Structure 1
Amino acid sequence: MKNNTDYDRNLKNTRRNFCKNTALVTGGLLLPTTSINAMYNIFDNKKLKLAVVGCGGRGTGAAIQALNADDNIELVAMADAFRDRLDGSLSNILKEMGETKKVNVPEANRFVGFEGAKKAIDLADVVILATPPGFRPQHFEYAVNAGKHIFMEKPVATDVPGVRRVLAAAKKAKENKLNVVVGLQRHYQDSYLAAMEQLKQNKIGKIVSGQVYWNSGGVWVRERQPNQTELEYQMRNWYYFNWLCGDHILEQHIHNIDVANWFIGEYPVSAQGMGGREVRTGKDHGEIFDHHFVEFTYPSGAVVAGQCRHQPDTMNRVAEFFQGTNGTVSTSGDEVSMKDWSGNNLFEHRGKDDPNPYQVEHIKLFESIRNGGVLADAENGAKSTMSAILGRMATYSGKVIKWDEAMQSDLKLAPDELSWDSPAPVQPNADGFYTIPTPGKTLVM
């Protein structure tokens, strides 16, 4: 999840000033593979129509970044469950973009409610999927079937059936040469790309262990309002309900787990861990934990410890550390450090002037669309989502959870069909509290 500081900083990165500093990213590391037959539209500068599905802060930020990423794009449709969110998003987009012909969303193209996503997707060439992640599998599947290019935020599901659904749609998207970028922005960040290049050169040898962190004080809470239905309350306070969010080990810590998968070149075969609620114990924190600690074991034998926490006034850390046979690497934001086991520097990257990776994601997406390339992030997005779900299964159950067994799970958290008359998928007890996962008792598969 991008915090407000990141969001404000991202908005300042227009395509013009971004392009002054993109040598590393646009120099070949992420260019799409393009066959001669696929290059029919390299010089096609047709106007691309954009739709945004999910009009919260992330959808708003992604829309602005998309509009700044290409010279001939127009925002034509928006969809959200709530009208106030849509109106606020459109107002912020117009405020940020200023006088522009790039924003043209008439009243008829402002869709509110559960069916609005499909209507918005139908009107666009490119779609941004930024609702709470519980809705992501169905929206992604629909967009792929409709032949759209896609930017979708992470995580891409909150349960295993959703992961399988995304994997199937990802395969179809690739076959149909649709571009899909997932908001795991480290893959588009100069510092992490530089670290990956050094790892490919065997700078620290084979990675055998690691520690990855997303420790912070937590995020927003939206209080229950008078006359609010249970379903509306949960959707507005979506971070604290697993059918919508999947817990913060999935919604935030996925970034660090994804880096481990990427650097090691594998996905975990098993996970075990522990977690619970020590600080955030109120009714307004729904059903999720406030801390998780997980050991992920990889096919190569590497073991990575993942740690995430939402507890105020404790140590904050968002970073990754890995140990190889010949040395170590640490990554955090725009800084990379590699050392041998004697403490000698092997490599450093201090990228305070690096291009903004949140903007890079969109520039690369539109470049690939224009050039007839295929960016295919969805499979990795689904598997890193599954890695984080594996960790949640481990902390909620207190058991060793194996990837192959977990992938067979039919435990579905997010319903396929909802209306405003539907009951919320989870219900509070008579005192207003929700059932909290209990290790040793909670069924996770």
Structure 2
Amino acid sequence: MKNLSKNPRRDFLKTSALVTGGLMIQPFALPGAYAAGSDEIKLAVIGCGGRGTGAVFQAFDTGHNIRLVAMADAFRDRIDKSYEPIFNKYGNKVDVPEEHKFVGFDGYKEAIKLADVVILAAPPGFRPSHFEEAVKQDKQIFMEKPVATDAIGIRKVLAAAEEAKRKKLNVVVGLQRHYQDNYRETVKRIHDGAVGDIIGGQVYWNDGGVWVNARQAEQTEMEYQMRNWYYFNWLCGDHIVEQHVHNLDVANWVKNSYPVKAYGTGGRQVRTGKDHGEIFDHHSITFTYADGSVIFSECRHFPGATNRVDERFQGTKGNVYLSAGNHGILTEWGGKEIYNHNRENNPNPYQVEHDELFDAIVKGEHRFADAENAAKSTMTAILGRYATYSGKEVTWDEALNSNVDLMPERLAWDALPKVLPNADGYYPFAIPGKTKVI
């Protein structure tokens, strides 16, 4: 496998321009009715949880002539819970008859066939296959982060990303800081040299954790894990992958590169119940980049502890502070302010993602190719998980070439995932120093 961590500054900046919508490649034609002259864009959503539902709202709020024509999810109740608020608010934009509500593991293929644009928002473990299929069917794509949960999935996404570029398909990924004004403006100034070369940094996602769904007596093991997808690595990748990917992606963006190795520690200290599956509740990692600089990464789920979600970087000429709360501050060493982003009236980046995607589609422009960077930033998070689970230093190449496959051998309600509870209902989890991860 080619070493993908050694991305020269020039190539990374080219990728960044694509990610932020700065490069229009050339016109293309949408498939189906849109290409035939209608101005209606047919939309399908794959994965009908909160994020998929929200993405449909944001697509409609672009103001373009969009019609939702298909929905797919493993669970029928998820489709119904999504359909109701969408129809109640946008009924005149919704045309999803019963036969276009696809339930189960394979319904996404049929839903994709009906659309010009697809929203991919199922749990991350399914993203590589869903993305691959959407590219195969020549669709314009919005997909949520992260884009995979293991190296095998990453390699599949990277291959599909190349094919999407060859086909001139727009792909926007929900790493929305790339569509947030304070990040765009501040990172632009960093790349222009405002604080010199970035020689270090710290990135954080520390909060109290997320939802838990209680086990129901009638559930198979497959259904239980899918209802609680956040706590199983084949579906989620651990919270370092599912959440902290945002901050790690910012580090890669600021550094114009990807790490070459990682070393760290982690474990289960607070969130240790049967309903917490196999994932850790804290990770602390040092990521080393090719120029020798180090980014420190920390994420944890400790209820009641102080929350922190932001990024800091140190350059040869000054400091950087960024956060999703619309902060973007550059200062010289000594404290003199270089830049302070105006926090007032900043557009919602979740909406901007869709505004810019559908603007490109309507104008017939190939403007977005986010998938390659998203795959590499997701791989950065997976590299961190490999380091904390094993307790060993892991290189990028070792991690990317891993053939450890987290996905079940078969996707069916009566099939068994690879990680199962013991007689007392507890799931096995990694033991640093003992567990082999690659």
For normalisation by structure 2, the TM-score amounts to 0.92
Return the match for 1:50 from 39, 43, 46.
Answer: 43
Q: What is aligned with 2:13?
A: none
Q: What is aligned with 1:364?
A: 356
Most deviating of 419-428 and 332-341: 419-428
Return the match for 2:336 from 333, 337, 344.
Answer: 344
Matched, 1:66 2:51: no
Q: What is aligned with 1:21?
A: none
Q: How many Å apart are 1:32 and its aligned residue?
A: 3.8
Closer, same or farther: CA 202–416 of 1 in aligned 2, 3 Å: farther
Matched, 1:395 2:388: yes
Whichever residue aligns with residue 346 of structure 1, its letter is I
Q: How many Å apart are 1:371 and its aligned residue?
A: 2.1
Matched, 1:315 2:316: no
Most deviating of 415-424 and 275-284: 415-424
Q: How many Å apart are 1:408 and its aligned residue?
A: 1.0
What is the distance in 2 between the residues matched to 1:45 and 1:260? 42
Q: What is aligned with 1:413?
A: 406
Whichever residue aligns with residue 173 of structure 1, its letter is A
Matched, 1:377 2:370: yes
What is the distance in 2 between the residues matched to 1:179 and 1:38? 10
Closer, same or farther: CA 42–126 of 1 in aligned 2, 3 Å: closer
Q: What is aligned with 1:3?
A: none
Closer, same or farther: CA 193–267 of 1 in aligned 2, 3 Å: same
Q: How many Å apart are 1:38 and its aligned residue?
A: 4.7
In the TM superposition, what are the counterparts of 1:88-103 in structure 2 within 5 Å?
88-97=81-90, 100-103=91-94
Q: Does the aligned pair in 1 maintain the 2:70–2:96 contact within 8 Å?
A: yes
Q: Does the aligned pair in 1 maintain the 2:46–2:111 contact within 8 Å?
A: yes
Q: What is aligned with 2:206?
A: 215
Q: Does the aligned pair in 1 maintain the 2:202–2:295 contact within 8 Å?
A: yes
Q: How many Å apart are 1:166 and its aligned residue?
A: 0.3
Q: Does the aligned pair in 2 maintain the 1:50–1:75 contact within 8 Å?
A: yes
Matched, 1:353 2:315: no
What is the distance in 2 between the residues matched to 1:124 and 1:432? 42
Q: What is aligned with 1:437?
A: 430
Matched, 1:77 2:70: yes
What is the distance in 1 between the residues matched to 2:315 and 2:136? 43
Q: What is aligned with 1:7?
A: none
Which structure 1 residue ranges, 5 or more long, are not aligned? Answer: 1-27
What is the distance in 2 between the residues matched to 1:42 and 1:118? 21
Q: How many Å apart are 1:416 and its aligned residue?
A: 6.6
Q: Does the aligned pair in 1 maintain the 2:408–2:416 contact within 8 Å?
A: no
Q: How many Å apart are 1:79 and its aligned residue?
A: 0.5
Q: Does the aligned pair in 2 maintain the 1:138–1:416 contact within 8 Å?
A: no
Return the match for 1:252 from 220, 243, 256.
Answer: 243
Q: How many Å apart are 1:413 and its aligned residue?
A: 0.4
Q: How many Å apart are 1:94 and its aligned residue?
A: 1.8
Closer, same or farther: CA 338–121 of 1 in aligned 2, 3 Å: same
Whichever residue aligns with residue 101 of structure 1, its letter is N
What is the distance in 1 between the residues matched to 2:209 and 2:48? 21
Any idea what the Cα deviations from partners look like across 1:272-328, whole Å, max 9, x if unmatched?
A: 000000100000000000000010001122100000010111110000000000000
Any idea what the Cα deviations from partners look like across 1:167-216, whole Å, max 9, x if unmatched?
A: 00000000000010000000000000011121122100000000000000
Any idea what the Cα deviations from partners look like across 1:304-363, whole Å, max 9, x if unmatched?
A: 000001011111000000000000010012111111111111100132310100001011
Closer, same or farther: CA 195–430 of 1 in aligned 2, 3 Å: same
Structure 1 counterpart SS, 2:257: coil
Q: Does the aligned pair in 2 maintain the 1:224–1:233 contact within 8 Å?
A: yes
Q: What is aligned with 1:299?
A: 290
Closer, same or farther: CA 74–416 of 1 in aligned 2, 3 Å: farther
Q: Does the aligned pair in 1 maintain the 2:20–2:178 contact within 8 Å?
A: no
What is the distance in 2 between the residues matched to 1:128 and 1:87? 17
Q: What is aligned with 2:12?
A: none
Whichever residue aligns with residue 271 of structure 2, its letter is R
Structure 2 counterpart SS, 1:306: strand
Return the match for 2:79 from 78, 82, 86.
Answer: 86
What is the distance in 1 between the residues matched to 2:170 and 2:403? 29
Q: How many Å apart are 1:42 and its aligned residue?
A: 11
Which structure 2 residue ranges, 5 or more long, are not aligned? Answer: 1-18
What is the distance in 2 between the residues matched to 1:219 and 1:212? 20
Q: What is aligned with 2:7?
A: none
Matched, 1:182 2:168: no
Q: Does the aligned pair in 1 maintain the 2:68–2:95 contact within 8 Å?
A: yes
Q: Does the aligned pair in 1 maintain the 2:64–2:358 contact within 8 Å?
A: no
Whichever residue aligns with residue 261 of structure 1, its letter is N
Matched, 1:159 2:165: no
Q: How many Å apart are 1:29 and its aligned residue?
A: 6.3
Closer, same or farther: CA 352–223 of 1 in aligned 2, 3 Å: farther
Closer, same or farther: CA 257–29 of 1 in aligned 2, 3 Å: closer
Structure 2 counterpart SS, 1:350: coil
Q: Does the aligned pair in 2 maintain the 1:134–1:158 contact within 8 Å?
A: yes
What is the aligned-residue identity percentage?
Answer: 59
Q: What is aligned with 1:265?
A: 256
Closer, same or farther: CA 30–352 of 1 in aligned 2, 3 Å: same
Closer, same or farther: CA 268–45 of 1 in aligned 2, 3 Å: farther
Whichever residue aligns with residue 347 of structure 1, its letter is Y
Return the match for 2:188 from 197, 214, 233.
Answer: 197
What is the distance in 2 between the residues matched to 1:43 and 1:195? 42
What is the distance in 1 between the residues matched to 2:294 and 2:375? 21
Structure 2 counterpart SS, 1:51: strand
Closer, same or farther: CA 215–384 of 1 in aligned 2, 3 Å: same
In the TM superposition, what are the counterparts of 1:5-154 in structure 2 within 5 Å?
30-35=21-26, 38=28, 46-97=39-90, 100-154=91-145
Matched, 1:241 2:232: yes
Q: How many Å apart are 1:425 and its aligned residue?
A: 2.6
